[in-house]
Chain A
Amino acid sequence: MPHRTFFKFIAPSLFVMLLFIALPILSVAYQSLFIEHEQILVEVENCGPFGCEKELRIDTEAMDRAMEESPMGRFNWLGTYANTSHLAFAEVGAIWRDSDGPVSALRAMLNLPFYKALIFTIAYTFIVTPLGMVLGFFVALGVNSIPRLLKGPVIFFSLLPMIVTPLVGSLVLFWMIDSSGVIGANLQLLLNDPQLSLKASPTLTWVTLFLYGVWHAAPFSFVVFYAGLQTVPGDTLESAMIDGASRWERVRFVVIPHLMPLATFIALVQLMDNFRVFEPIIGFSAAANATSLSYLIYNDLRGSETPLFGSAAATSMLTIIGVVILLMPVLIRTWRDFNRKV
């Protein structure tokens, strides 16, 4: 296709991407460089149903003037990125200077909100993505070999975790693992520990979230792998059979290599999705033990009556940078493959 035709063909989607993806990201990046004006406080007397009290109040007229002068607030350059709620350079530096060893230093770092969220986010991404893909692959293999008549219903049920809204799915599981729920109560019986709670212990909460993540992520891998399985060349499989390859050997040496490009695609999508893990934390009320980067953004915007836009914007930018770093190996590989073909 001539370059001109190609450009004409793609121009509308480029424009839309610029408008709805690039511009919002730029505006978030710009927002993250600002903090609110210094609040001008005055002492006044306030009265209500429960008595009077002298309290500080914001001088709204003075604030209006400041807002008119610079509507974005005070320029803070990268200060928000460096503060305690984000990368916390000063605190991290102090921790490494004062600590006895790397283990205690890492432990102290996990007390900082950003690093605490980051470690869960990374753990979730790297545990749920491969497990979900493996599970999806085996479900696809299984579904591919059952009789035609049963395929329809089995596919439907295998897809259910993806069809169910994440929040609803996690709430259902949340009630089941309650210490008086079906799973929670039976686990207590089984392990003979009446104080066992999947919601209280940090480790068990993490495990629960990972299991939920795999359950939720597997259907996507399943659908894509199942579609891929339909294209596995029959004659290669047959010749492998004639050579005496077992079922496992056929899967290992014919099916998996054939599906590898698909696996790259799924890994790409799932890494991005899992890095933004959010709904299960809300659904499982797990914020006490597990927070993610997306949860931090949510908490900045919804946690208090006054949303912290700059802080939320900074965390958003850090999340985007995190996604780019995560995808780097996959992107580099794709780029190399592309160059080789050309």
Chain B
Amino acid sequence: MDSGQLFNLTTIAYFASMVLYIAYIATKSNKVATVATLAALTGFIIQTGALGMRWYESYVILGSDHGRAPLTNLYESVVFFAWSIIGVYLFMEWKYFKKYRAVGAFVLPIALFAMLWGQMSLNKSIDPLVPALQSNWLTYHVITCFIGYAGFAIAFGVSIMYLLKIGKEEKHQGPEPMGGILGMFPPTKVLDDLNYKAIMIGFPMLTLGIITGAAWAYYAWGTYWSWDPKETWSLIVWFIYAAFLHARFTRGWAGRKAAWLSLIGFGATMFCYLGVNLVLSGLHSYGGA
């Protein structure tokens, strides 16, 4: 069995998990939610194995001197992004929202989409690294950035739920809880708190990602910051989430506006991750293709 097949199994598991999370919202059956979580966990474990396998395969294909962590091109990064999202999601579900698993229905699709894109249309070949990428900083930099991105992806899913629910909730009359699909969503107060918690994971990791990137740039090019488009966009993302973190303490900015900031932040994150490589050019251009 090679890593490609394991990644296919992962994709199937994430698809099943997504369907089950949606089914949970429709059926309100806790058993379905538990199975959804188990499917996601199974996929995560398989994917962890697949990443290890691809790492090992790089040593087989490129020789014992040139093997490297599977974090070096667009395909590998997309797959690692999916892994990070599910990892952070499972951690947060276990730690913060066992009671509100409907969130899974809004997070799993992001990871599934990443896996599908990677498996179906990206170049999967294991190529040797050009000199600029031969550095341990690469591993630290990519891991921290993607855990940060994963936190923002979860905040994105939660923010969509918040914005879908808040309007209806404000119109909702009476003491009885809301019924229907929105009734399965966590209360908006909880969603607001989860949004904050996900960004509390994402923001320090992004900070660490930017700093490890700066350290790497210093050792490779002699300057820790050069306003290259990728660097600048990571800083733009940082500014937006910093604004989000302060918006929560500011009257008139909490609630809806904060949720919108979280959506915009994720849009900027995705542009930083993909848009910069596909649209703009700069130091990270070899990360594409």
To the question of whether A and B form a pair in one complex, the answer is no
Residues in A lying within 8 Å of B, measured CB to CB? none
